[in-house]
């Protein structure tokens, strides 16, 4: 016998199915949050952003210390001589004045603003902070500064000798020589202006009766360049003991400088 008479109409079956649906599928209207809960959740949402900013500055301060330690331990700048800085939003982070590098903690690294001011209760910045800041103003494309009293670079600087094109690697500093800038008393605005002028078209220069300075896009590249300048200074010093050096021509150095634009891994980019 057919069961058509006993089947429920489609609308009745649909209503029955909806009535028997599991309670979990029925959406519940969320409870209204209190003002205190809203404030608490907002604070938690913002907290990771603040923590990240603080951590990145601490990491950069540690990088400045590591670079200064490398500079000192490799003999590039003995004792407490020399200084290191890196660009930081609104100014720079620089090593403090007169502290042994082994004793420096991240909190000792000094933030110097673009106008030369420092944060309250900060350490005293390196006495050469002015020419570091001038270097950043002169070279917005560079983000780290290394100043050292490395042996051979300082010997040449005290003899008032620049490093000419005796070797093609002189072009590593961005020109046909590594120039010598005039002397001025350390820690002065006069010296800062002189250094800024010397770095306008070079990534490194010698400072008369003082030492050398190198800039780079990173702390690592600036330190590497400072080592290269010292190595070239030592080579040139030894060449001078043999007599008048044979220099590369201007035309050849132009070729070298052009080839340096595609030198290294960046040429593959």
Angle at 74 between CA 69 and CA 80, to 5 degrees: 50
Q: Cα–Cα distances in Å, from 121 out to 93, 118, 124, 125?
A: 15, 9, 9, 12
Strand partners, 84: 146
- Report the SS3 class of residue 208: coil
Helices (H), ranges, 9-118? 10-20, 35-73
Q: Tokens in use for 109?
A: 């690294």
169 Cβ partners below 8 Å, 6+ apart? 228, 232
Beta strand extents in 104-182 (DSSP E only): 110-113, 144-148, 180-181
Beta strand extents in the chain (DSSP E only): 83-88, 91-94, 110-113, 144-148, 180-181, 204-207, 211-216
* Residue 230: active-site member: no
CA pair distance 205, 180, nearest whole angstrom: 6
Q: Tokens in use for 213?
A: 């300075």
Q: Tokens in use for 146?
A: 């290394």
CA pair distance 199, 205, nearest whole angstrom: 7
Among 128, 201, 224, 258, the active-site one is 128
151 Cβ partners below 8 Å, 6+ apart? 75, 230, 234
Write out the catalytic residue numbers.
128
């Amino acid at each position: 016998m057919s069961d058509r008479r006993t089947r429920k109409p489609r609308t009745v079956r649909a209503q029955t199915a909806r009535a028997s649906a599991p309670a979990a599928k029925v959406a519940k209207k969320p409870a209204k949050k209190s003002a205190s809960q809203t404030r608490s959740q907002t604070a938690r949402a913002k907290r990771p952003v603040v923590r990240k900013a603080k951590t990145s500055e601490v990491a950069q301060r540690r990088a400045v210390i590591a670079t200064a330690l490398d500079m000192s331990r490799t003999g590039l700048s003995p004792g407490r001589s020399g200084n290191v800085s890196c660009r930081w939003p609104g100014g720079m982070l620089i090593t403090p004045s007169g502290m042994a590098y082994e004793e420096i903690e991240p909190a000792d690294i000094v933030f110097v603003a673009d106008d030369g001011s420092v944060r309250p209760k900060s350490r005293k910045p390196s006495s050469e902070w002015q020419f570091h800041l001038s270097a950043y103003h002169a070279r917005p494309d560079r983000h780290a500064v290394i100043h050292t009293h490395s042996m051979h670079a300082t010997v040449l600087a005290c003899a008032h000798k620049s490093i000419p094109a005796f070797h093609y690697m002189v072009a590593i500093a961005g020109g046909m020589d590594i120039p010598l800038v005039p002397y001025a008393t350390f820690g002065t605005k006069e010296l800062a202006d002189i250094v800024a002028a010397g770095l306008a078209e070079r990534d490194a220069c010698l400072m008369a009766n003082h030492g050398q300075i190198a800039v780079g896009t990173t702390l690592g590249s600036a330190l590497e360049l400072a080592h290269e300048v010292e190595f070239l200074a030592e080579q040139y010093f030894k060449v001078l003991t043999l007599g008048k050096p044979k220099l590369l021509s201007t035309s050849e150095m132009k070729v070298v400088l052009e080839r340096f634009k595609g030198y290294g891994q960046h040429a593959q980019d």
